[in-house]
Amino acid sequence: MAAKLIMTWDIAPDREQEYFEFVVREFIPGVQRMGFEVSDAWVTVYGNQPQVMVGATLPSTGKVRQVMRSTEWKSLNNQLLDFVKNYSQKVVEARGGFQF
């Protein structure tokens, strides 16, 4: 059964430009290179919720966990943490439509 990695975060103040450059040039291509299909990307415009939510899928929960144990994932994720705060992640069974 397909699995989805759901990540949420807030962009660190005064890091917006660097954050967007990193996400477009390194994070999304890196996630895709590891086999994930980015399925969702949401930005909160109003309200007290995480500023960004990204969903990425793989064929199984086991495959998601395998990728998340890799050196490449840990390195990419640590780089993201330089630009964000309140980072959270969870792995769920992928279903059609919006999930959080």
What pLDDT is attached to residue 64? 96
* Spatial CA neighbour of 53 closest among 45, 64, 62, 63: 45
What pLDDT is attached to residue 99? 57
Amino acid at 58: L
Q: What residues pair up with 90 in beta bridges, in sequence order?
A: 6
What pLDDT is attached to residue 45? 86
Q: Looking at the 3D structure of the chain, how many domains does it have?
A: 1
Interatomic CA distance for residues 75 and 81, integer angstroms: 10
- Kindly state the average pLDDT of the residues 35-53: 92
* Spatial CA neighbour of 77 closest among 60, 56, 100: 56
- Kindly state the average pLDDT of the residues 48-62: 94
Query: What value does the mean pLDDT of the chain take?
Result: 93
Q: Is residue 98 part of a domain?
A: no
Q: Is residue 99 part of a domain?
A: no
Q: Is residue 97 part of a domain?
A: no
Q: Is residue 55 part of a domain?
A: yes
Residue 18, domain extent? 3-92
pTM above 0.85, yes or no: yes
Interatomic CA distance for residues 39 and 55, integer angstroms: 5
What pLDDT is attached to residue 1? 86
CATH of the domain at 59: 3.30.70.100
Residue labelled with tokens 């495959």: 63
